[in-house]
Structure 1
Amino acid sequence: MTTAAAGLRALLPAGDLTCVVSDALDRGGALSGAFRPVWSGASCAGEAVTVRTFGTDLSAVFDAIAEAAPGSVLVIDSHGITGTAFWGERTTRAALARRLAGVVIDGGCRDVTAVRRLGFPVFCTAITPNAGLAGGRGAVNVPIQAGGIPVSPGDVVVADENGVVIVPGHLAASTLERVRVLLAAEQQAFAQADRGAAAPPDGTEGEMV
């Protein structure tokens, strides 16, 4: 895992990290609002291992789990298919065994009770009981699109209850530094607000809602 990915992961416990990361990316980088966590409180950060499925074939998902390094986040481009699940209990257990950090699916998930019980962070655009079938097709670690945003292998994924943000790999280190600056400014602004001295963002450090 890169230093930037590890640094962002370390900031997850503060909460709402995706909001600050988006601010650091000039208020961008977020996938569409259709991406939601399967269970409340889910969050993850790590380098992207990308998956491009073929139809309802989920073979590439299993290939990606087998190839991914510990701490990785799978990002699955299923071309917006929402009537078929590309993730479930079997893939969750396999991902946990590989010590992956989470998965983001532009498509469906199933076995949500098991996923919630196992505590694996899953973000998806649909829930459906229909499962895909393995047919040996699809691709791993290729450029994809997810939620209207291009994702490349090695980009940094940050996800929490606010949604999912993609940090391009070449911007990861500078984004981490920017996030740290924004968090410090945010804490100062919160302290002022608690004293009744709230002010709107002025376009300088600490931009926030």
Structure 2
Amino acid sequence: MSENSEALDEFRVLLGEDDLSCTVSDALGRGGALDAGFRPVWPGARLLGPAVTVRTFGTDLSAVFDGIAAAPAGSVLVIDSHGVVNSAFWGERTTRAALGRRLAGAVIGGACRDVVALKRLKFPVFSTGVTPNAGLPGGRGEVNVPVALGGQPVSPGDLLVADENGVVVVPMSQIRDTLTKVRALLQAERELLARTTDPALLQPEGVS
């Protein structure tokens, strides 16, 4: 097992921590988050896993299905739709295909649909919009190429961590180091909150 595989397994244990995305962002120097437009499609959704990236072509869904077929179990499909929000790049059919591949979730720089089905199936999806319009076939697109969405570059293998606060990207080369920092921050936070409510002591470091 590679060092990153071990780190990913250890990171997954932390997914039950409340507001984990906030701690991961703190560990990255208070950065790494996609912009505030990325929201969970259903309340309580959480995901954590390495990225399999998709760059769509127009409103074509073909590359999304290609990405699902190529994605290992535990992966997060990251879809760069070039800002298209009037056509959905995810819905019940893609969700059922992803569940069949045991994927961890999807992050879409664009829209999805079938939100009632997604909530019922408990598949975590984070997107920048919702629309009834389905994407149409017509040009395929690309899989496992560098993409950019929400103000952040995402490469295949980068770690995605998402909850109701938003989505954070951990570069693949920083996964182990970030895990170590996250553990230390979680422990320090528990200890601090258990011993004080003093506003002076609860300020983040660097605030005066």
Same fold per TM (> 0.5)?
Answer: yes
2:106 equivalent to 1:109? no
Could you say what the CA RMSD is over the residues aligned between the two structures, in angstroms? 1.4
Question: What is the rounded CA distance, in whole Å, between the counterparts of 1:78 and 1:112 in structure 2?
Answer: 19
2:190 matches 1:187: yes
Deviation (angstroms), 1:43: 0.2
3-state SS of paired residue (2:169):
strand
Q: Distance in 2 between matches of 1:108 and 1:98?
A: 22
Instruction: Tell me the distance in 1 between the aligned counterparts of 2:27 and 2:63.
Output: 33
Whole-angstrom distance in 2 between the partners of 1:13 and 1:200: 24
**Which residue of structure 1 lines up, in the alignment, with residue 51 of structure 2?**
48
Q: How does 1:1-150 map to 2 (within 5 A)?
A: 2-150=5-153
Structure 1 contact 109–127 (Cα < 8 Å) conserved: yes
Once the two structures are TM-superposed, the CA of residue 179 in structure 1 deviates from its matched residue by 0.2
Which SS does the other structure have where 1:6 is aligned?
helix
Unmatched runs of 5 consecutive residues or more in structure 1: none
> Secondary structure at 1:61's aligned position in 2?
helix
In structure 2, C-alpha distance between the alignment counterparts of 1:139 and 1:70, rounded to whole Å:
20
How far has the Cα of 1:137 moved from its partner? 1.8
In structure 2, runs of 5+ residues without a counterpart are none
Q: Aligned equivalents of 2:15 and 2:150: distance in 1?
A: 22
Q: CA deviation at 1:160?
A: 0.4
What percentage of aligned pairs have identical amino acids? 63
CA apart distance, 1:66: 0.3
- What amino acid is the match of 1:90? R
| In 1, Cα distance between equivalents of 2:29 and 2:204 | 14
Shift of 1:116: 0.4
Offset at residue 136 of structure 1 (A): 4.1
**Is 1:201 aligned to residue 194 of structure 2?**
no
Greater shift, 122-131 or 8-17, is seen at: 8-17
Equivalent pairs, count: 203
User: Distance between the aligned counterparts of 2:177 and 2:203, measured in 1?
Assistant: 22
TM-score (norm 2): 0.94
Deviation string 1:111-163 (CA, Å, 9 cap, x unpaired) is: 00000000000000000000011224200000000101000000000000000
Amino acid at match of 2:186: L
| Code of the aligned partner of 2:22 | C
Which residue type is aligned with residue 90 of structure 2? W
| Cα offset, 1:201, TM superposition | 3.2
Partner deviation per Cα, 1:62-112 (whole Å, 9 max, x = no partner): 000000000000000001111110000000000001000000000000000
SS, match of residue 7 in structure 2: helix
Q: What residue in structure 1 maps to residue 181 of structure 2? A: 178
Does the CA contact (< 8 Å) of 1:6 and 1:46 recur in 2? Answer: no
Which whole-Å CA distance do the structure 2 matches of 1:112 and 1:6 have between them? 29
1:171 maps to a residue whose letter is Q
Residue type at the aligned position of 2:49: G
